[in-house]
Structure 1
Amino acid sequence: MVRYNIDYSESGVVVPGPSHEPVNKTMPDKVNDVEEYIRSFPKVDSHYCRSSTKRDYLEPTLNIRMMYRLYNESCGDRGMEPVKENVYRKIFNEKFNLGFHKPSKDMCDSCALYDNLKKADGLTKEHQTARDAHLARKVEAREA
């Protein structure tokens, strides 16, 4: 075989045939549709960890399987063929830096106090006013 290639080819080197796309490759328009769908979920950035991480967080009630079910229903409503769950999961994990819960250290003292008072039904109007002012300062600081 080596002797044949040397004798019958111009350069003496085996030239590989043309490469082709795999037949089971997911179409780019479907990948783009999945990416747009994942981007449509509201994201919550980290409060204290934002300097050390670029990860965004989704609602803690969500998970990838639930998001896929919602995507599947959305495709059915639009008359589109959905991608398989493993493809959806691969796109989610490889192209997005998303998590499903906020880190436990991500709550400041005033937010923790507010949550504790809310759970214990000890919330007063002053606490609510202080909370609103705190959130306004937080938004202002992020925009600066």
Structure 2
Amino acid sequence: MYKLYLADCAEHTKICLRERFYRHIFNTHFNLSFHTPKKDHCVTCTAYEIANAETRVTLQENYDRHIAFKNRARQEKNSDKIESVKL
């Protein structure tokens, strides 16, 4: 966000604040903070997790397919890592 702020200041020929002060204002005046999420969540998994029992029934098939695809992709990634070490 700070990079966007710098670009906006440059576009409108404004004086930019230092990143430290920018963060201070964001954290204190807006009660927001910056952090890197520990784990990203996709829309499919999140929708299934927050759905009630009735809705989960309709989402179940799509969710199962999604999990199978995710597991297959993880297996492929691991096998690619093993192959790259062998070379």
Q: Shared fold (TM-score greater than 0.5)?
A: no
Larger radius of gyration: 1
TM-score between the two structures when normalised by the length of structure 2: 0.42
TM-score between the two structures when normalised by the length of structure 1: 0.27
| More contact order relative to length (CA 8 Å, sep ≥ 6) | 1
Q: Which structure carries more helix by proportion?
A: 2
Q: Which structure carries more strand by proportion?
A: 1
